């Protein structure tokens, strides 16, 4: 490297950065044009810019990222209550994906703060070193230099800006449909947010997947429905959709519960033969009872929560849980001719299945109960809510005589 007028500006800069001796012209220019006061002014400007960036991150970006992570954790907890919230599109797998992305956002904010602090710290260390070099008397000996830091700078940071990627706009800008955006706002308000713009990019793709998976939601917005599914080794997941027949229906199907299965399977197949796999059945609730809630149990079993029909007060009366084997029910195949999204309920009038307490596995409850019914298939228990805010836990796999209920 040549010292003096023969050296290039880049070589002079590297010489100054590495702690080596600067040429007399460069030293004279820095002392006369910039000086210690000028260097301090530059230091003050850069310090102010760094404080502004830290203020924006600490007071705005980081709290927003923490709120996103907290709210997504709440939605993740609600998505685990499948029987209650899966019908509105809260799928645990998709919510897990959004939760993971919100966590990545929080990690990126923390990483940005570390990079920002490191960059400004390195700058002020270099600036202090330059001030000391300018105030020193010329010497023929080179100053000590950390060659490892110089190599790292030349190899990775010489022509790059480590702060710029965090301040640029993201290339991924998803423009969702108006209906999708409306559903995002509904879910945001459901989670307690007041502003939904920051969730637009993280949840738009998840809602597209939800729409493709739960396309049937537009068919029954005014009906009381619930969706469940269980896994079989032969056919994979089998989806079940339950709906309650309105009270003003005909006498043939009054006080009945409708259950359909393989609805999503029929939507995912385009051939006519496979699309006929939709099946449905009507279950007539025993006389003197009405269905409060139901849930899918393991191995295709369905648990119905029945309340005794009485005109007395809410605290009186009895109830029961009935376990029905889904494979034993006479499901009727529903043809999907014409519009694939509609089928006539009259096709099931002649195949109503009357449930009998003496023919099914029944667990009597000496209280009047209310929805919802929570069933844990892995533990084999069910939780129901009785009057006076009491929660009753029942073991479904044991006989009634050998069971002790927990309250």
CB 323 within 8 A of CB 303: yes
* Residue range 23-39: mean pLDDT, rounded: 69
pLDDT band at 380; cut points 50, 70, 90:
confident
User: Which two three-digit tokens encode residue 172?
Assistant: 């991924």
Residue (of 278, 296, 285, 307) closest to 371 by Cα position? 307
CA 311, 314, 320, 326 dihedral sign is positive
C-alpha 379: how far from its chain's center?
25
Listed in sequence order, the residues at least 6 apart from 75 whose beta carbon sits closer than 8 Å to its beta carbon are 90, 95, 98, 99, 187, 191
Does residue 64 form part of some domain? yes
Listed residues 137, 168, 199: the one ending a domain: 168
Listed residues 350, 366, 382: the one ending a domain: 366
Tell me: do 224 and 330 sit in the same domain: yes
Does residue 399 form part of some domain? no
Q: What pLDDT does residue 403 have?
A: 46
Q: In angstroms, rounded to a whole number, what is the distance separating the alpha carbons of residues 267 and 325?
A: 25
* DSSP element (H, E) containing 68: helix 62-79
Tell me: do 227 and 355 sit in the same domain: yes
Beginning with the edge strand found earlier in the chain, give each strand of the sheet holding 369-376 in spatial order: 369-376, 381-386, 390-395
SS3 55: helix
Q: In angstroms, rounded to a whole number, what is the distance separating the alpha carbons of residues 51 and 252?
A: 75
3-state SS track over 124-164: HHHHHHHHHHHHCCCCCCCCCCCHHHHHHHHHHHCCCCCCH
Does residue 260 form part of some domain? yes
Residue (of 221, 36, 203) closest to 132 by Cα position? 36
Position 99 pLDDT exceeds 50: yes
Q: What pLDDT does residue 5 have?
A: 53
- Count structural domains, the chain: 3
Tell me: do 202 and 285 sit in the same domain: no
DSSP structure class, residue 406: B
Compare 254 and 257 and report the one with higher pLDDT: 257
Model pLDDT for residues 267-282, shown as the tens digit of each residue: 555 444 444 467 888 8
Listed in sequence order, the residues at least 6 apart from 360 whose beta carbon sits closer than 8 Å to its beta carbon are 322, 323, 324
Residue (of 93, 68, 324, 395) closest to 202 by Cα position? 68
* Residue range 281-301: mean pLDDT, rounded: 85
Does residue 374 form part of some domain? no
Would you list the DSSP string of 167-212? HSPPS------HHHHHHHHHHHHHTT-S--GGGHHHHHHHHHHHHH
Q: What pLDDT does residue 184 have?
A: 67
How does the average pLDDT of the chain come out, rounded?
Answer: 71
Tell me: do 361 and 254 sit in the same domain: yes
What is the C-alpha radius of gyration for the chain, rounded to an integer number of angstroms? 35
SS3 13: helix
Q: Which of 39-48, 50-59, 93-102, 247-256 has the lowest mean pLDDT?
A: 247-256
Tell me: do 290 and 247 sit in the same domain: yes
DSSP structure class, residue 355: P
- Using CA atoms, how far residue 320 sits from 119, 148, 371, in Å, is 68, 76, 13
* Residue range 28-32: mean pLDDT, rounded: 69
- Distance separating the N- and C-terminal Cα atoms of the chain: 85
Would you list the DSSP string of 70-135? HHHHHHHHHHT-HHHHGGGT--HHHHHHHHHHHHHHHHHHHHHHHHHHHHHHHHHHHHHHHHHHHH
Domain range for residue 297?
Answer: 218-366
Tell me: do 31 and 65 sit in the same domain: yes
Does residue 1 form part of some domain? no
Residue (of 42, 80, 162) closest to 113 by Cα position? 162
Q: What pLDDT does residue 220 have?
A: 38
Tell me: do 209 and 222 sit in the same domain: no
Tell me: do 190 and 251 sit in the same domain: no
Listed residues 168, 201, 231: the one ending a domain: 168
Model pLDDT for residues 100-113, shown as the tens digit of each residue: 888 888 888 888 88
Model pLDDT for residues 49-79, shown as the tens digit of each residue: 878 888 888 888 888 889 988 888 888 888 8
Compare 200 and 349 and report the one with higher pLDDT: 349
* Residue range 319-326: mean pLDDT, rounded: 89
Tell me: do 19 and 147 sit in the same domain: yes
Position 340 pLDDT exceeds 50: no
- Put simply, whether the predicted model's pTM sits higher than 0.75 gets the answer no
Tell me: do 164 and 229 sit in the same domain: no
* DSSP element (H, E) containing 165: helix 164-167
Compare 91 and 35 and report the one with higher pLDDT: 91
Does residue 373 form part of some domain? no
Compare 13 and 375 and report the one with higher pLDDT: 375
CB 231 within 8 A of CB 240: no
Does residue 389 form part of some domain? no
Compare 241 and 314 and report the one with higher pLDDT: 241
Residue (of 157, 173, 57) closest to 105 by Cα position? 57
Model pLDDT for residues 345-374, shown as the tens digit of each residue: 666 777 788 888 888 888 888 888 888 888
Compare 315 and 132 and report the one with higher pLDDT: 132
* Residue range 249-255: mean pLDDT, rounded: 65
Compare 7 and 241 and report the one with higher pLDDT: 241
Position 258 pLDDT exceeds 80: yes
Q: What pLDDT does residue 173 have?
A: 57
Does residue 391 form part of some domain? no
* Residue range 207-222: mean pLDDT, rounded: 51
Q: Which of 17-21, 99-103, 109-113, 385-389 has the lowest mean pLDDT?
A: 17-21
Compare 244 and 163 and report the one with higher pLDDT: 244
Share of residues in the chain with pLDDT > 70 (%): 57
Q: In angstroms, rounded to a whole number, what is the distance separating the alpha carbons of residues 52 and 65?
A: 19
Most confident range (mean pLDDT) of 255-259, 266-270, 395-399 is: 255-259
Tokens 């927990």 correspond to 406
Tell me: do 291 and 247 sit in the same domain: yes
Q: What pLDDT does residue 213 have?
A: 55
CB 284 within 8 A of CB 330: no
Tokens 């709440």 correspond to 74
C-alpha 365: how far from its chain's center?
37
Tokens 């190599």 correspond to 151
Position 249 pLDDT exceeds 60: no
Tell me: do 318 and 223 sit in the same domain: yes
């Amino acid at each position: 490297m040549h010292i003096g007028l023969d050296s290039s500006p880049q070589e002079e800069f590297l010489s100054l950065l590495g702690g080596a001796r600067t040429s007399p012209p460069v030293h004279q220019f820095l002392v006369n044009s910039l000086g210690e006061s000028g260097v301090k002014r530059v230091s003050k400007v850069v310090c102010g810019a760094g404080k502004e960036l830290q203020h924006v991150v600490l007071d705005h970006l980081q709290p927003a990222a923490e709120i996103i992570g907290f709210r997504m954790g709440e939605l993740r907890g609600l998505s685990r209550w499948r029987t209650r919230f899966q019908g509105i599109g809260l799928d645990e797998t998709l919510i897990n994906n959004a939760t993971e992305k919100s966590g990545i956002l929080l990690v990126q904010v923390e990483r940005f703060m570390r990079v920002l602090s490191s960059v400004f710290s390195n700058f002020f260390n270099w600036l202090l070193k330059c001030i000391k070099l300018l105030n020193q008397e010329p010497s023929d000996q080179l100053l000590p230099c950390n060659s490892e830091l110089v190599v790292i700078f030349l190899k990775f940071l010489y022509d790059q800006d480590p702060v710029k990627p965090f301040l640029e706009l993201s290339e991924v800008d998803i423009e969702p449909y108006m209906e999708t955006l409306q559903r995002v706002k509904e879910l945001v308000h459901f989670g307690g947010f007041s502003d939904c713009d920051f969730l637009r990019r993280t949840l738009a793709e998840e809602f597209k997947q939800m729409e493709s998976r739960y396309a049937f939601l537009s068919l029954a917005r005014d009906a009381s429905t619930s969706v469940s599914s269980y896994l079989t080794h032969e056919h994979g997941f089998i989806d079940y959709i339950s709906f309650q027949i309105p009270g003003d229906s005909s006498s043939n199907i009054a006080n009945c519960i409708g259950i359909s299965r393989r609805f999503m399977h029929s939507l995912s197949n385009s051939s006519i033969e496979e699309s006929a796999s939709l099946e449905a059945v009507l279950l007539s609730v025993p006389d003197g009872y009405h269905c409060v809630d139901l849930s899918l149990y393991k191995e295709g079993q369905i648990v119905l929560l029945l309340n005794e029909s009485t005109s007395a007060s809410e605290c009186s009366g009895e109830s029961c849980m009935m376990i029905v084997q889904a494979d034993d029910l006479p499901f009727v195949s529903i043809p999907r001719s014409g519009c694939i999204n509609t089928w006539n309920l009259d096709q099931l009038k002649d195949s109503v299945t009357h449930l009998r307490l003496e023919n099914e596995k029944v667990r009597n409850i000496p209280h009047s109960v209310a929805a919802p019914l929570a069933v844990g298939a892995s533990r084999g228990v069910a939780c129901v809510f009785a009057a006076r805010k009491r929660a009753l836990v029942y073991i479904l796999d044991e006989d009634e005589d050998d069971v002790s209920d927990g309250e």
